[in-house]
Structures are given as structure tokens and as C-alpha cells.
């Protein structure tokens, strides 16, 4: 059922102890991948009704059948025709063309809550649909999605970066709460920096861990994960609680000779890792020096080693 003139009241959406019968929405999903299928499951678990989803590949069809059994597979325009809330769960670079394409083909966006899950975009990317009457929301789950069922459980411990017009903010935040997560408001102009911060932390962390594991295997460690788990878990905990005050290791101690030996070993065993080691060691030294944890004289010797890693 369409609601082009519906008065979307945030109180209808609020699902707490005093709200016995919150408004239920029909939900459509464009892009039922790792993210879209999990959010569809979370909304279904909250009592909303997932009625339609796109599915371009057989893998997508299988995912819809397994995770969204109440959804009918349909074209994007048909999904919009059937749903009060439509999730656009597509890659960042295809989101803008998708929105423009929907509007150009006359998709019925007026009165529809149109939400995307992109981290780097706010609601500006939805402007063509907003101009046609859509109600824009940016709901970005701050979580990595593996495609496994534990993704759904992880929603309960994650946050969403939320951006919306002020009038729709209560609805956007209520939807996130209903999915079991915590909404965090991000201003439209801050979305790019917000996403850069998340990508730098999460994506680069995976690369660093993969590099460390590979080097340990080269050093003869059969199960590097067992060795790295406690160490990296403690380091992450320290960083989150203490910031740069949680730093340890040869850089913060000013052990220039140790760092030089590291570079020698890396050049011999993993030349591709030298550049990232040097860049991160320099950044670590800069932050340690600024925080007063590294003496200027030690920093000078350390940076001499890092200045010409070859």
C-alpha cells in the first residue's frame, strides 16, 4: 500500500516499553547483498514486513529465498511500488546513478522512505528522488559484513551513522534502534571525513593484520592467529581506552637500532612491506613526540633511520 500523503510521525516508529503497537512498515530492498539481506532480516525481526527485493544473480535469489522468505523478487520500480521503506544497499559509486535512473524511469518515489546504507554519502545523493517527493535517509551500519549469520547478531553491538532532514531524524533513529543498534548523528558536510576515518581504521587494520600474519608464517609460526589474537586484542583495547597513551613498542621507546633491524629483515623477506612499515613508524613517532612520550633526541635518531629505509 502506498502512502504518498502519509504524515510520518516519529512516535509511531518508536518501539520501547511504552509503545505496544508501533507502526509496521512494508519494506523493499534494492541490493540484497551482505548488508541489505541482514538489514532486511533485522527489520523483519522488529516486526516490519519485507515484501519485495531485487535479485540480479542466482546467488542473490538464493540469498533472498533463505534470508527474506516473505519478499517477492521484483524489478527496482516494482519494489518501490510495494514498499513504504526502501533500502538502497548498493556500492557507493553506483548509488547516485541508481537514484537518478529510478527518477528518470518514473519510479513512484513520492511519500516513500528512501534509505541508503553508504558510508561516504549523506542525503545529497538522494536529491533527485527527494525533489520527486521521497523522504531521504542515510543509515550506514558501522560494521564489517562477512555474509555469515553472525552479522545479524553483531548489529546489536554496533552503531549506525545517521543523516537525514531534521524532520525525519526521529524516524531514522527509531529504525536503527529497532534493528538493535545505536544511532549516531552525522552532519551532511561531515560524511566524507566520517567515512575516511572508518575506512582508515577498519580496512587498513585488516591489511596490517594480514601482513603481520604472513611475516610470522615466514618466520616459522604455523598458527599466527593464535599468537596475534591476544596481542592485537590488547592493543586495540588500549587504543580505544587510552588513545596514544596506550602505545608501546620500539618506536615510542626510541629504539632506533631495533627499528633499523626490522627494516633489514623486511627488505630481505618482504620488500613490499617496507614502505607501509616506514610510513606507519613515522606517523607513530610524530604522534608519540607530540604527546610527550618520545624524547626529541630519540625521535631524531629514529627519524634518521626512517628517512632513508633503503
Average pLDDT over residues 90-96: 95
- Grid coordinates given for 139: 543509515
pLDDT in tens, 27-80: 999 999 999 999 999 999 999 999 999 999 999 999 999 999 999 999 999 999
Domains and CATH numbers, the chain: 10-186 (3.40.50.720), 193-307 (1.10.1040)
State the greatest distance between any 2 C-alpha atoms of the chain, in Å, as a whole number: 71
Average pLDDT over residues 282-293: 95
C-alpha–C-alpha distance, residues 291 and 45, integer Å:
47
Does 134 score more than 70 pLDDT? yes
| Conformational region of residue 180, where left means phi above 0, alpha means psi within -120 to 50, and beta covers everything else | left
C-alpha–C-alpha distance, residues 53 and 64, integer Å:
7
pLDDT in tens, 241-285: 999 999 999 999 999 999 999 999 999 999 999 999 999 999 999
C-alpha–C-alpha distance, residues 277 and 246, integer Å:
19
Strand order in the sheet with 135-141: 72-73, 49-53, 26-30, 85-88, 113-116, 135-141, 159-163, 182-185
Q: How far is CA 16 from the centre of its chain?
A: 26
C-alpha–C-alpha distance, residues 244 and 279, integer Å:
17
Indicate the pLDDT class of residue 146, thresholds 50, 70 and 90. confident
Average pLDDT over residues 111-121: 97
Indicate the pLDDT class of residue 9, thresholds 50, 70 and 90. very low
Indicate the pLDDT class of residue 310, thresholds 50, 70 and 90. low
C-alpha–C-alpha distance, residues 2 and 25, integer Å:
11
pLDDT in tens, 200-232: 999 999 999 999 999 999 999 999 999 999 999
Please enumerate in sequence order all residues whose Cβ is within 8 A of that of 24, keeping only pairs 6 or more positions apart, or say none.
47, 48, 49
pLDDT value for 3 = 44
pLDDT value for 5 = 45
Amino acid at each position: 500500500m502506498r502512502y504518498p500523503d502519509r504524515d510520518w510521525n516519529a512516535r509511531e516508529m518508536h518501539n520501547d516499553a511504552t509503545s505496544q503497537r508501533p507502526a509496521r512498515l512494508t519494506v523493499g530492498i534494492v541490493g540484497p547483498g551482505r548488508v541489505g539481506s541482514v538489514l532486511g532480516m533485522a527489520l523483519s525481526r522488529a516486526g516490519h514486513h519485507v515484501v519485495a527485493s531485487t535479485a540480479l544473480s542466482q546467488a542473490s535469489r538464493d540469498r533472498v529465498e533463505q534470508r527474506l522468505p516473505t519478499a517477492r523478487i521484483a524489478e527496482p520500480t516494482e519494489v518501490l511500488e510495494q514498499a513504504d521503506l526502501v533500502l538502497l544497499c548498493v556500492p557507493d559509486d553506483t548509488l547516485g546513478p541508481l537514484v537518478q535512473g529510478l527518477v528518470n524511469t518514473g519510479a513512484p518515489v513520492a511519500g516513500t522512505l528512501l534509505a541508503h546504507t553508504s558510508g561516504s554519502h549523506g542525503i545529497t545523493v538522494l536529491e533527485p528522488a527527494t525533489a520527486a517527493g521521497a523522504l531521504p535517509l542515510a543509515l550506514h551500519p558501522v560494521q564489517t559484513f562477512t555474509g555469515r549469520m553472525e552479522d545479524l547478531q553483531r548489529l546489536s553491538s554496533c552503531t549506525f551513522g545517521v543523516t537525514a532532514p531534521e524532520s525525519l531524524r526521529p524516524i531514522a533513529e527509531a529504525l536503527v534502534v529497532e534493528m538493535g543498534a545505536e544511532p549516531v548523528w552525522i552532519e551532511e558536510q561531515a560524511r566524507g571525513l566520517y567515512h575516511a576515518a572508518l575506512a582508515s581504521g577498519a580496512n587498513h587494520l585488516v591489511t596490517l593484520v594480514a601482513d603481520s600474519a604472513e611475516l610470522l608464517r615466514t618466520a616459522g609460526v604455523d598458527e599466527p592467529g593464535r599468537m596475534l589474537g591476544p596481542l592485537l586484542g590488547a592493543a586495540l583495547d588500549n587504543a580505544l581506552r587510552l588513545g596514544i597513551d596506550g602505545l608501546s613498542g620500539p618506536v615510542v621507546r626510541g629504539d632506533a637500532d631495533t627499528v633499523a633491524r626490522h627494516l633489514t629483515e623486511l627488505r630481505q623477506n618482504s620488500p613490499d612491506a617496507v614502505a607501509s612499515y616506514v610510513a606507519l613508524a613515522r606517523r607513530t613517532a610524530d604522534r608519540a613526540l607530540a604527546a610527550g612520550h618520545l624524547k626529541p633526541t630519540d625521535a631524531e635518531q629514529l627519524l634518521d633511520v626512517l628517512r632513508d629505509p633503503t
